[in-house]
Amino acid sequence: MESLTLDELDRQLAHALQVDGRASFSRIAAVLGVSDQTVARRYRRLRTAGALRVIGLPDARRIGCVDWLVRIQCAPNAAASVAAALSRRSDTSWVSLTSGGTEITCITRTRHRQDSDSLLLQTLPRTPQVVAITAHCLLRNLAGTTGWPGRTAALTAPQIDALRPAPVPDADQPVELGDADQRLLAELAKDGRAGYPALASATGWSESTVRRRLDQLRRANVLYFDVDLDPLLLGYATEAILWLTVAPGHLTDVAAALAGHPEIAFASATTGPTNVVAFAVCRDADALYDYLATRLGALAGVLRVETAPIIRSAKRAGTALVPPTR
């Protein structure tokens, strides 16, 4: 994948899919001013190379779940195997090795308190290679909800408007999902653009029922689509997790600032000794230094920053399709 080069059309396609992950090739082609066949060929090339994947994900709050960011300290030489095991779980995402290769961070989603107890307080501590664990509840997303700016800067505002799905009313109540819904979401976590025949086969529904249910879940803001694209392919070689201690009275202002920083792919308020976590993506180490020293360092209310460079991502969002290499 590292030898793959993305040109402007590839970047526009990635941005278009971020706007609407299930937009038809013909619709994307009309907006980009190329043929349907060109868009389809470019997508298949990137998809086959493992460079780009659209994934369908449920919003935790809409389905009554809680997301936790877990920091796991491992014994030397054990982090890679623990990360591989975590990446194979269906309830984890963003499994990364940081801080010299002995620390793992991951996001895990739980529905009931006993579920979080099972993973956070029972399963992991009983793993011999695990030395220490801290778990931080993600309270509110602060940035990155519409996609990382590094992959959403290829289209013009009119092009984005032409692709954006029609606005829908916000739904306040959690939505109950049945067994067939869970199977539907499992398939979309592998491939958000899976065809209706494949989704019908997985759920046992007819294709028309799948279409209706997908539309219902999207209109209820339960289901959204994201693009899994390695930042390295866009020229961004440095990723880091930033643990911020922010004075409570400045949280709102800091959140607004982070949402406007192109270096921030995601940020959330959390519980724990630090109250904000952010994922930063920069061109190189010098760019990360400049960001920390100038843009982040200039924010009033930021009292402390811990920086944990990401050495390797064992799993991003969605389902891990292949075991990560050690």
pTM of this structure: 0.84
Asked if residue 238 belongs to a domain, the reply is yes
Q: Report the CATH number that the domain containing residue 243 is assigned in CATH.
A: 3.30.70.920
Give per-residue pLDDT as tens, 171-200.
Answer: 566 678 899 999 999 999 999 999 999 999
Asked if residue 255 belongs to a domain, the reply is yes
Asked if residue 68 belongs to a domain, the reply is no
Query: What number of other Cβ atoms are within 10 A of residue 164's Cβ?
Result: 11
Asked if residue 248 belongs to a domain, the reply is yes
Asked if residue 77 belongs to a domain, the reply is no
Phi-psi region of 144 (alpha: psi -120 to 50; beta: other; left: phi over 0): left
Number of domains in the chain: 1
- Cβ-count burial of 30 within 10 angstroms (0-12 exposed, 13-18 middle, 19+ buried)? middle
CA dist 103 and 174 (Å) reads 34
**Local confidence pLDDT in tens for the 326 residues of the chain:** 446 888 999 999 999 999 999 999 999 999 999 999 999 999 999 999 988 999 999 988 888 888 999 999 998 888 989 999 888 888 888 999 997 778 999 998 887 655 655 666 567 767 788 888 888 999 998 987 666 777 778 899 999 999 998 766 655 666 788 999 999 999 999 999 999 999 999 999 999 999 999 998 998 888 999 998 888 888 899 999 999 999 999 999 999 999 999 999 999 999 998 999 999 999 999 999 999 999 999 999 999 999 999 999 888 887 765 443 33
Domain that holds residue 244: 233-310
Q: Give the pLDDT of residue 319.
A: 72
Q: In 261-273, which positions are buried (b, 16+ CB within 10 angstroms) versus exposed (e)? A: bebbbbbbbbeee
- Cα distances (angstroms) measured from residue 105 to each of 80, 131, 226: 12, 14, 20
CA dist 31 and 15 (Å) reads 12
Q: Where are the alpha helices (DSSP H) in the chain?
A: 8-19, 25-32, 36-48, 79-87, 113-116, 157-163, 179-190, 196-203, 207-219, 251-259, 285-290
What is the full DSSP assignment across 180-193? Answer: HHHHHHHHHHH-TT
Asked if residue 11 belongs to a domain, the reply is no
Q: Give the pLDDT of residue 125.
A: 66
CA dist 227 and 238 (Å) reads 19
Among candidates 314, 302, 318, 271, which has minimal Cα distance to 70? 271
Coil, helix or strand at residue 204: coil
Q: Give the pLDDT of residue 171.
A: 57
Q: Give the pLDDT of residue 129.
A: 85
Residues facing residue 88 across a β-bridge:
none
Asked if residue 75 belongs to a domain, the reply is no
Asked if residue 213 belongs to a domain, the reply is no
What are 314's two structure tokens? 């064992």
Q: In 283-321, which positions are buried (b, 16+ CB within 10 angstroms) versus exposed (e)? A: beeebbebbbeebbeebebbeebeebbbebbbbbebbbe
